[in-house]
Structures are given as structure tokens and as C-alpha cells.
Amino acid sequence: MESCIDTCPTGTPEITFDLGTFEGFNFKTQSAIPRTLTAADVVAWDHDRQGEAEFWPAGDRAEVSILFKGQSTVAGSELIELNRLLDELGGDSVENFLRIHYLVNTCGADLEGLTRDSVEDTNLAIFLGTSFIDVRKEAAYELFELYNPEEYKVWEKSHCDGLIFDIDRFLDSPGFSVEEVKLGDQRALLIAPQ
């Protein structure tokens, strides 16, 4: 079994972040690649010498799996671009992955075309927790106060039992785009104003 250390051509870009492991299929041998590969292994794969192959996330890094969901294969060039973008953003935080996921999978942006500024300028609120119910509640109250400060003050000071704030009705309104994302044991809510 060859590893990236054995096969890395000189000049291959270095993967500096933990992008998880990958599984693959080698068309030369017509079989699954018998080991899990690192992102560096995928980038360094020599399709001429080792055989034409395709790769996909093994699932041990949920953020990478979410980013490449719906794709049947992940190219080494995509991993290089992801690594570049994470470096520009200052790290591989969950929030950075979720912002990139939103731009690529919801807005249709090309990973190669994204820059630090385009990711940071995205009007996207991210809420994290362990339960979608709790995360939705936190998000709704925070966004209600942010976007409707006068109404929020009236609602907060009201002692009227009939004055109800419906969390689901607020979040599911046409004013927001809401996506619920499961990342292992963590739950994330991505909310963008429309």
C-alpha cells in the first residue's frame, strides 16, 4: 500500500487542515481502494500511475461531508481550494465550514471563486446547539430582537397572556431562509434574511 509520502509529486500543495478521511474506488483495479485516505493522499493521487480513481468523504469529519453532500466524487483540486479558503478565513472552525457550505450548496457559488471577503460578507446567522428545538428558540428570539426591536420591547414588557410569540411561524416566514444541519451530536441552524 502506497501512501502520500511514497507517491507525492514534488510541488503538490500541502493540506494543512484536518479534512477527515476519504474512501475511494480505483478504476484500474476495478475495486475499492483498500484503505482510507487522507486529504493529502487524495490530492497527491497520481491517476496515471496509480489508476483513475474517484473519492468521497468517509464521514469522520461531518463538516466536510456536509460541504460535499450530493456530489458523487470529490476532486483533489476541490480539497486544495477548501484548504486555501480555510487558511484565508483563519482556521477550520465549524462556522467557517457552515458558511462555505451555505455559499456552495444553497447559493450555488463555486468553491474556487470564493474568497475570505465573500465568505465573511455573507449575511448569514449561525446558531449551534445540541437540540434543534433549543437552537430554533434561541435563534427566533435573537432575530426577533435584532430585526424588530420596537415590537420586541413591547412583547417583552407585556403582561398580557394572549400576546404570544410563535417561534416556528417567525422562522418559517418568507422573510428568512432557514436550513437545519446535523453535524454529529451538534445541531446548526443557518438563517439568512431574504
Q: How far apart are CA 151 and CA 170, in angstroms?
A: 13
Angle at 176 between CA 107 and CA 159, to 5 degrees: 160
Digit-coded pLDDT (tens) for 15-64: 999 999 999 999 999 999 999 999 999 999 999 999 999 999 999 999 99
Confidence category of residue 70, pLDDT binned at 50, 70, 90: confident
First to last CA, the chain: 51
Look at residue 109 and give its three-state secondary structure: coil
Of 151, 152, 143, nearest in space to 175 by CA: 143
pLDDT digits (tens, 9 = 90+) for 93-142: 999 999 999 999 999 999 999 999 999 999 999 999 999 999 999 999 99
- Closest by alpha carbon to 116, among 128, 99, 131, 101? 99
